[in-house]
Each structure stands twice: as structure tokens, then as C-alpha cells.
A and B are shown apart, each in its own frame.
Chain A
Amino acid sequence: MSLLEFKNMTVEFPTRRGVFTAVRDVSLSVDPGEILGVVGESGAGKSTIGNAVIGLLEPPGRLAGGEIYLKGSRIDNLDEDALRAIRGKRIGMIFQDPLTSLDPLQTVEQQLMETIQLHLKQGDEEARASAVSLLDRVGIPDPGLRIKQYPHQFSGGMRQRVVIALALCADPEVIIADEPTTALDVSIQAQILELMRELCRERSVGMILITHDMGVIADVTDRVAVMYRSRLVEEGPTEKILGNPDHEYTKSLISAVPRPDVRLARFPVVEYIESAGDRRDSIDVATHWLGAGRTESGGETMLRVEDLHVRFLTKFSFLKKNRIYLDAVDRVSFDIRQGEVFGLVGESGSGKSTIARAIAGLYRPAGGHIHFAGADLIEVRTETEMDRYRRQMQMIFQDPFSSLNPRMKVLDIVAEPIRFHGLASGGAETRQIVMDLLEHVGLGAEAARKYPHEFSGGQRQRISIARALATRPRFLICDEPTSALDVSIQAQILNLLKDLQEELGLTMLFISHDLPVIRQMCDRVGVMRHGKLLEVAETEALFESPQHEYSQHLLDLMPKLGALSHEVIAGLEMADQGS
């Protein structure tokens, strides 16, 4: 008998535009000590499964069919009181954001003891002792001291450990973890996954691990269920699914994950996944307006950053000497040659985005020089003079949902830089250029009449790219351009960027926390930590023989998925050639 089992689960969200089925006829089960991964892209219904099991569907969602059994007894027809007794006690939960899962106004001790006493009826002393030993077990140093602290005094990774302790404190039989490591850096992610793996074995707890990340699945799960558009498409042992999947969707999903082990010319084009939005080569770049700014890659330096120093005021004081600053970028120097893609990699808070923003002129550096197109941008004083350089340098942002003005039509968004810099001779020409640009990034000219909210994340990122191209830049800064996107969409966007870079001879600064993406995109890479640039190397050299120990450390933490899926990709490539 399985620990937790659900049969033919269907979850519906009735809306006024019709009933939306988020989960359709899904049957799964977890055994004690087993980790079942549920993987899928956004909107596939994987989180809904977790919420349905614990009876926490957001209204108006409802369980429209199916049965849920916990140790053989049915729980989906229980009333709210009975469910509340199960939730937390027999089924524990871990959510994505450790900051919002903890009460900021209570100490860790209060929160742990409250839960322990609620479910286990222990006395104060006993509960406190269990709380301390739990914190110790999840790897928090000095648990006796730290238990008195508030959640904000813990780092992100430590906080997620507290959340895990909280989920464990009633000795649950099943844990549902919804994207537990998505908000964390890779090095912390690895530790947390390791911890969850150990705890499950040790306490024979069954776990449902919901994630979009194939690397996480490969690292810790025993079995995997693959969700696609509210259906379960495939289920089986992890090695089998990742190494030799049967379903076409699973194959395409795996092949879209950037490979850490070898550099490919392009990402495998996945036919199965939505509207690949293939570019129509409707314009000839060589003769088109867009190509007029094209520069041949001559190898000379395009951008030289010298001793760049950016700091933020963290505590203001009227006396200069009492002000406290944070050195976000601490005397960093590098240069980018014409026509190359230069990568910056590092964990969150390492200062890589700050460098990008300082180069783009969004932050004023405290010191250093930025030489671009023959001028030191720090020395440029007037806005009009600056416009000359701005036109040659554009930026693509991370979050496709906030990087487009929701109140402007796509036409006006893309036309804004053209109009501002006076790059076209009239309204009709501007309109034509915008249409061509939209075609060129794979959206189609009809997109111009719409508003950003009518597009998906990947399509919006294409709009951002079109806007960045609208000044005919020579230098493009990409700040985590795909980290908010699903892997299949990421593959499309990265292919688009590669194509554009080649066609237009663009020079790029490419920022990412994702090493496999860096390997696929960049010619040279800089590794950053705590505002300092530790190492700059040719990409292949860095991946083969990293010099700095931190680079080595980062590489070790890279998910090992690529090795598993060789055969899949080989199979796909064979099929490609065959057709």
C-alpha cells in the first residue's frame, strides 16, 4: 500500500469565461522514503496537484473528480476541520519563498514550538528541546542561540532550513515541497536538496517535489512524473525518464535544457512545444535599415571597463565619515572585443547586474572608467552628448512582465527609441521598421497593434529584443534575459539572440547565473563574487580547467543532467538528420 496515492484527480477552476481544467485525470502515488518529482513548465498544473492534496486550492478551484488516499484512508472528502488536523501533522509543506512562509514578527522558537505543541501535545521544555534538536538536524549551527532569532536574521538558505524544520516538526508522513530551491543560489540549492534527500531516507517520509528544474529532478528524485498542459504524460524511475524517455514531450523538454558539458552551435529546435515562433527571414539585413549599423568583428576592443567601483549608500548620515556604503562592484576591470559575447557569471548579490547597469548609465559609479566607442562614459557630462553612445548600446532585461510599459501598444514601445533618436524619416517609415523588427524577432507584424498583456513571457521577451534593436545598437547588454522563462522558451530566445548576434555583428555582455547557458552563449567569461571579478577566461578553458577555486566550486555544483540525457539528444539529432 502506498503512503499517499491519488487516483484520477481532476481539478477545475470555473471562471466566467468557462471552466479551466488545471489538472486532468492524474494518478500518482508515493512510498515511504521515496521522493517523487513532478516536473513541468509553468501552467502545466504541477503546483495545483500539491495544493489539491492538502485541500488548499485557491478559490474558485475545486476537486472535480478523483480520490486521494493517505495510508489507505480517503482524505479528499473530509471536512475542513479534519483536513486541518492532517495538514501540518501528517502532511508537511515547504513552499518556494522562505521569506513569506515564516512569520516575520515571531522568533523561530515561537513558530517551531507553536507547531510542535499544536500537533504533538508536548510541554514547553520538551517542545523547546525538540525544536533545538530539529534545527540542529537541518544543519543550523548554534541552534540553541539562533532559535531566539527572527527570520530576517537568517540568510535565504538558512531560512529555508528553518522552513524544512517547521515542516518536519510534527513528524509528518508525507512532505509536499513546491519549488523549494527556486529562490536560492546554486550552492545553497545543492545543500538543501542534499538535506531533503537525507531526511526522507532517515525518517522514511514520502516526498512530492514539485519543480520546473530538470537539474533538481536529476539530483534527488527516485521517480518522476512529467506534466504537460494539465495532463500527466509520463511517469517512471528518474534514470529511465531522463535517460530514455518514451514521450515526445519529455524528450523535447530534456533536449531544451542547456548542456553543461559541450558547446552546441544552436539549441536543438523543439517541435513539440508551443508556437516555436520561427523567424521569417522576410528582410535582408544587408540592405535593410536594421543592417545599416552593422560592424564587422575586427577584434579590437569595443568596451573597456577599468577599476569600476559602484557603491550604494546603506545608511545615510549628515556627516560624510558616518555614512555606510556597500561596495556592490569593487574595482573591476575587463574588456570586451568587438563581435564577441562576454559572459558574467556569479550568484545573486555578486554585482554582475550592477556592472551592467553602470555601463548602461543607470547607476553612477563612484570611480573608474568605462571606455566605449572611443570615449570615457564617466566623463561625458551632457545628455545630448550621451545620446550618441546610448544609441549604440542597448539592454535586454530579466523580467518580461515588468520590462514593457503595460499602457503602451507594442508599436509605440518599439517605436519609442526610433522616434527619440530620430532614426527614421517619418511616421510611415517608423511603422514599417517596427513591423519588420517584429517579424524579424519571430512575432509577426500584427503584434504591433496589441498591448503587452496579450503576450506570453517568451513573446514579451521578443518584444524587448525588438525594442533593443530599434536603435541599431552595436553593443547589447543582456541581463539574465531568460531566467524568468521556461526551458523550452529559453532555448528559442537564446537561439534568436545567437542568430541576431551573428547577423548584425553585435557585441554582447551576457549576464547569467546559469553556467550551462553561459557555456552555450559566451566566447569569454568573467566569474564574480562579492563585487569582485575573480577570473576571466575563454569559456571552454574555464569549463575545462577553471583557475580560481570559486570557479571550480561553481562548476562542481552544476546539475549533472547533461550526462544522463546524451542518448536522448543523440536520438533527436539522428531523427533530425533522418528527416
Chain B
Amino acid sequence: MAVQQDDKKQSLWARLNDNDILYSFFHSPLAMAAALVTALIVLSSFGAPLIAPFDPFDPAQISLWDGKKPPAWEEGGDPAYLLGTDNQGRDMLSTILYGGRISLMVGFAAVFLGMFLGVALGVISGYVGGWFETVIMRLADIQLTIPGILTAILINGILRSVLPPELRDEMAIYVVILAIGLSDWPQFARVARGATMVEARKEYIQAARVIGLRPALVMVRHIVPNVMRPVLVLATIGLALAIIAEATLSFLGQGVPPTTPSLGTLIRVGNEYLFSGLWWITFFPAIALVVLVLAVNLLGDWLRDTLNPKLR
């Protein structure tokens, strides 16, 4: 028989090495470095309660007397506060770790929301066509004429004004997620629709229809798994954009409140003290944001190049 039966004998390593994506990954130093940095930031952010020297949300650990301390190596620095403290006496390193966690959570959730909405609408548009497609895609076109961040600010503003004031701070993070997610979906919808139209013409879709599968099942079982490649590439790059969007919203004072600061909030708070010489309050969160976004972006670029042979 021509059907090979030796695949069980192959070691795990041989099979991993056989995988084109992994091969490309292990032969791209940039991608590996980016993945390492991303993994480091993600792990340390989500492990913040375990590794951060202080808990910036615990008032018992904060003392205003320790406020505005420069980093440990500067004159007047305190070795307990490696990267110095902010105006309220919170340890910068701990705050960045906790802040990074919020930034990442918002980023992931917003991209997931945008991806879910975009893929759902895009796949239905591409498969069903007709007036549904026209309406959805024109909506997407209209939304794309406005910069994403403006859409996010608009949605954010509307949602905030609808919420009762006492819930605003509590719900802020969800509002931001919703705002960024809703500003994000047209990209996903376009990509998903394009890929769906290509897939829907293929004969395996017709075979599924001849079997009798209803459109919903055809889309969920056959089309969605086959359009996810380009969508995931977009999602990786979208993650970086979502993190920036959150930082921008927070920097403008429209995002998460200063009591549970994200990287953007930290940069904003620090910005007020920049001209009084307290550069570290804004500098370190900004560096953390840049490194995180850069690493995620490089990872996204590598993924796009690997999955799209035409660009090689």
C-alpha cells in the first residue's frame, strides 16, 4: 500500500520539525526573540501578584512619604523601589506589572470580541450574500472611513454616559473592551468575507450541501475552520493595535480609572510630572508598552509571512 504507516514511529521532535510553521519559527531569530519577550511580559504580568514586590492596590502598602522616589540607581533612590515610585508612593515596577496585566486583558478581550463579531458577520456575508452582505459590508466601509480610535472614543463616550455614575469606575474596563472591540470588527469582517467567498466556491462546500447540511452547519463546521488562518494573522497584529488603543483611551482619561491603572493610565499620570523632572513615572510604563507592542507586532509579521507563501 502507498499509505505510509511509519508516522507513528516518528519521534515527537521529528514531527515538530516536519511542521512547516514550527520549522520557520525555529529558523527565524527575530520571531523567537519576539515570542520570548511576549511570553516574558505576559507571564510576568499575569503572575504579578506572585512576583511583584508590592501590591499597588493595597492602601496598607502605600505610603505617601515614599512618593516620587527616583529609581534605585539615582541619587536619593531607595533600593526597595527598583524603578522608583509614583506621586502616590506606589512602586513603579509593581504598578507596571499590574498595569501590563490590565492592558493585556483589555487587548485580548477586545481583539476576541472584534474577531468574533467580524468573523461571524464576514462569514455570513460571504456565504449568504444578498442584502445582508450589502448592508453589513457598507456598514463596515462607513466605519472604516473613521479612524478606529475615534470610533472607540465615540462608543466609549456613549456607553459611559449611559451608565449610572456609581458604576462607571467599576465597569470602565468592560466599556473599554466593548469600545475597542466594536471599533475593530470591520477589518475582521472584510478578511473573513473574502476568504469565505474563496472557500464557498470550493467543491467540499458543495459536497456538504449535497449531503444536506444546513447553511449554519456548513459555515460553522466547514467554512470557519478554513478561514481562520488569515483571521489569526490579523488578530495578532490587532492585539498590538488594541493595546495601543487602550493606552490611548486611558491616556486621554477615557479609559480605566487611576485606581486600577493600565499602562496608558500610568503614562498619563506620569505625564503631569514630566516637567517637574520626575521622568521615571512616565518613562518606564512607556518603555514597557513599546516593547510589548513591538514584540507582538513582530510576531504578527512573522506569522503573516509564514502563512502567506506569496510574500516570501
A405 to B203, Cβ gap below 8 A? Answer: no
Main secondary structure of the interface of A (DSSP, over half): loop
- A156, CB-defined interface residue at 8 Å: no
- A380, CB-defined interface residue at 8 Å: no
Tell me, rounded to whole Å, the shortest Cβ–Cβ distance linking B192 to chain A.
15
Contact of B211 among A275, A402, A420 (CB under 8 A): A420
In the complex, which residues of chain B have a beta carbon less than 8 angstroms from the beta carbon of A459? 2-3
**Segment at the B interface, from A263-271, A288-296, A382-390, A535-543:** A382-390
In the complex, which residues of chain B have a beta carbon less than 8 angstroms from the beta carbon of A446? 3, 5
- A231, CB-defined interface residue at 8 Å: no
- B225, CB-defined interface residue at 8 Å: yes
B226 to A467, Cβ gap below 8 A? Answer: no
In the complex, which residues of chain B have a beta carbon less than 8 angstroms from the beta carbon of A361? 209-210
Return the chain B residue nearest A386 by Cβ: B212
B2 to A277, Cβ gap below 8 A? Answer: yes
Tell me, rounded to whole Å, the shortest Cβ–Cβ distance linking A57 to chain B.
17
Tell me, rounded to whole Å, the shortest Cβ–Cβ distance linking B170 to chain A.
41
- B12, CB-defined interface residue at 8 Å: no
B203 to A403, Cβ gap below 8 A? Answer: yes
In the assembled complex, the Cα of A105 lies from the Cα of B253 at a distance in Å of: 52
Per-position 1/0 for A78-100, Cβ under 8 A of B? 00000000000000000000000
In the assembled complex, the Cα of A406 lies from the Cα of B204 at a distance in Å of: 9
A467 to B3, Cβ gap below 8 A? Answer: no
In the complex, which residues of chain B have a beta carbon less than 8 angstroms from the beta carbon of A112? none
- CB-CB under 8 A for A390 and B211, given A16-B23, A397-B203: yes
In the assembled complex, the Cα of A186 lies from the Cα of B202 at a distance in Å of: 26
Per-position 1/0 for A432-447, Cβ under 8 A of B? 0000000000011011
Contact of B212 among A402, A420, A456 (CB under 8 A): A420
Return the chain A residue nearest B229 by Cβ: A407
Contact of A421 among B3, B23, B204, B212 (CB under 8 A): B212
In the assembled complex, the Cα of A32 lies from the Cα of B64 at a distance in Å of: 97
Query: Interface residue count for B (Cβ, 8 Å)?
Result: 21
In the assembled complex, the Cα of A406 lies from the Cα of B23 at a distance in Å of: 21
- A311, CB-defined interface residue at 8 Å: no
B206 to A404, Cβ gap below 8 A? Answer: no
Tell me, rounded to whole Å, the shortest Cβ–Cβ distance linking B198 to chain A.
10
**Residues 334 to 361 of chain A near chain B (Cβ within 8 Å):** 357, 360-361
- B197, CB-defined interface residue at 8 Å: no
Contact of B3 among A357, A443, A471 (CB under 8 A): A443
- A211, CB-defined interface residue at 8 Å: no
Tell me, rounded to whole Å, the shortest Cβ–Cβ distance linking A49 to chain B.
25
- CB-CB under 8 A for A387 and B212, given A405-B222, A405-B226, A407-B226: yes
Main secondary structure of the interface of B (DSSP, over half): helix
- B291, CB-defined interface residue at 8 Å: no
Interface contacts (Cβ under 8 Å), in number, total: 77
Contact of B209 among A362, A393, A447, A454 (CB under 8 A): A362
Interface centre among B3, B213, B214, B225 (most CB of A within 10 A): B3
- B167, CB-defined interface residue at 8 Å: no
**Residues 394 to 435 of chain A near chain B (Cβ within 8 Å):** 394-395, 397-399, 402-408, 416-417, 420-421
In the complex, which residues of chain B have a beta carbon less than 8 angstroms from the beta carbon of A402? 202-204
In the complex, which residues of chain A have a beta carbon less than 8 angstroms from the beta carbon of B23? 16
- B208, CB-defined interface residue at 8 Å: yes
Return the chain B residue nearest A17 by Cβ: B18
In the assembled complex, the Cα of A360 lies from the Cα of B203 at a distance in Å of: 13
Return the chain B residue nearest A387 by Cβ: B212
In the complex, which residues of chain A have a beta carbon less than 8 angstroms from the beta carbon of B60? none
In the assembled complex, the Cα of A397 lies from the Cα of B203 at a distance in Å of: 7
B210 to A447, Cβ gap below 8 A? Answer: no
In the complex, which residues of chain A have a beta carbon less than 8 angstroms from the beta carbon of B212? 383, 386-387, 390-391, 417, 420-421
Return the chain B residue nearest A403 by Cβ: B203
**Residues 63 to 105 of chain B near chain A (Cβ within 8 Å):** none
Interface centre among B209, B212, B213 (most CB of A within 10 A): B212
- B207, CB-defined interface residue at 8 Å: yes
Per-position 1/0 for A359-392, Cβ under 8 A of B? 0111000000000000000000001001100110
B213 to A420, Cβ gap below 8 A? Answer: yes
In the assembled complex, the Cα of A420 lies from the Cα of B209 at a distance in Å of: 11
In the complex, which residues of chain B have a beta carbon less than 8 angstroms from the beta carbon of A393? 210
In the complex, which residues of chain B have a beta carbon less than 8 angstroms from the beta carbon of A387? 212
In the assembled complex, the Cα of A387 lies from the Cα of B2 at a distance in Å of: 37
Return the chain A residue nearest B207 by Cβ: A403
- CB-CB under 8 A for A444 and B226, given A390-B211, A402-B203: no
Contact of A362 among B204, B206, B213 (CB under 8 A): B206
In the complex, which residues of chain B have a beta carbon less than 8 angstroms from the beta carbon of A16? 23
Tell me, rounded to whole Å, the shortest Cβ–Cβ distance linking A548 to chain B.
31
A395 to B226, Cβ gap below 8 A? Answer: no
In the complex, which residues of chain B have a beta carbon less than 8 angstroms from the beta carbon of A549? none
In the complex, which residues of chain A have a beta carbon less than 8 angstroms from the beta carbon of B210? 360-362, 390, 393-395
Return the chain B residue nearest A406 by Cβ: B226
- B146, CB-defined interface residue at 8 Å: no
In the complex, which residues of chain B have a beta carbon less than 8 angstroms from the beta carbon of A416? 208, 211, 213
A275 to B2, Cβ gap below 8 A? Answer: yes
Tell me, rounded to whole Å, the shortest Cβ–Cβ distance linking A200 to chain B.
37
B3 to A399, Cβ gap below 8 A? Answer: no
Per-position 1/0 for B1-17, Cβ under 8 A of A? 11111000000000000
B3 to A398, Cβ gap below 8 A? Answer: no
What are 6 A-B interface contacts by the 8 Å CB criterion? A275-B2, A387-B212, A403-B202, A403-B203, A450-B3, A454-B4
A277-B2, A362-B210, A454-B4 given; 4 more Cβ-contact pairs under 8 Å: A357-B206, A391-B212, A417-B211, A446-B3
Enumerate the 7 nearest inter-chain pairs by beta-carbon distance, A residue then B residue, closest first: A275-B2, A403-B203, A397-B203, A402-B202, A390-B212, A407-B225, A417-B211
